[in-house]
Amino acid sequence: MRARSLTLSRVLSWLVLSWLVLSAAACAQNPAARAPGTYDAPTPAGEPRASLQVTVDLEPASDCDERFDLALYEDRGVELVSWDDGPGCSGRHVAVRYLPGRVKKEALLRRLEKIARKVREG
């Protein structure tokens, strides 16, 4: 019985070690893992910025503005989303500061229309 438990222990150790080695190798294949900081690199101060003022109606939820923010920040051309102090998910005024060199205004408006129920510019 003792020899059997040593063998089982050895097999489990090899499995864990193999899993760790394979996991490390898989992470090394990810370009983001090899180039840290490229995603969160600051935008150069000289890069042009623009602002888009919209009024949106969002899907009713307790975290509607947070969901909107997260969906919008997936676009690397969006730099900042500023909200009015209004409550609720309807008729909210939003200012979106974006980088026109990375996203065009028309594309940003299309993105807004996908993640909000209704979008009115101005």
Q: In what order do the strands lie in the sheet with 50-57?
A: 78-83, 92-98, 50-57, 118-121
Q: What is the pLDDT of residues 103-115, one digit of tens each?
A: 999 999 999 999 9
Pick the CATH number of 50-121 from 3.30.1490.20, 3.30.460.10, 3.10.580.10, 3.30.70.100: 3.30.70.100
Structural domain boundaries of the chain?
A: 2-34, 50-121
Q: What is the pLDDT of residues 32-84, one digit of tens each?
A: 445 555 567 788 899 999 999 999 999 999 999 999 999 999 998 999 999 99
Q: Tell me the C-alpha distance between 1 and 3, whole Å.
A: 6
